[in-house]
Structure 1
Amino acid sequence: MKAKHLAGALIGAFVGVIGLLWLLQGTGLLRIRPILCIANCEEIVGPSPVWAVSGLIALVIGAIVVFVSVRGIRRP
């Protein structure tokens, strides 16, 4: 049972970190060049509300998953 909660916490942390990255890029606080491009890949120039909102949603979902998973680990 604890492995399931640990996996949930790790997945939630990953989603939260990705959400934070999207949020920072969407607000224009962080700029990262594309690493692997298949089509017409360009940097996001300036703030992007779509990425900021998507990042905030992913960050909140990741935090909830981590909270629920850690809470499950603490229970006997």
Structure 2
Amino acid sequence: MNHVRHYFSEITETLTRIDEGPINQVIGLLHEARVNGRQVFIMGNGGSASTASHFVCDLAKNTRQPDWPHYRVIGL
């Protein structure tokens, strides 16, 4: 088996083990915040602060759609 195929199969196996429940909960909470005009706070510590900052940017800018409220999001 070549290295790329092995890597892909490892990723596939890992993804099948992820519990979707908590991810769907976060998606639901973010959706509720968006449609109800609630403020979302995102934070990270150390290197995770830059990841949090990028997530804030993604929510604030990359999710804008006509006829949908924008996310009110702040990075701490």
TM-score relative to the length of structure 1: 0.33
Which has the higher relative contact order, 1 or 2, with Cα contacts under 8 A spaced 6 or more apart?
1
TM-score relative to the length of structure 2: 0.33
Determine which structure has more spread, i.e. the larger CA radius of gyration: 2
The structure where strand makes up a greater share of residues is: 2
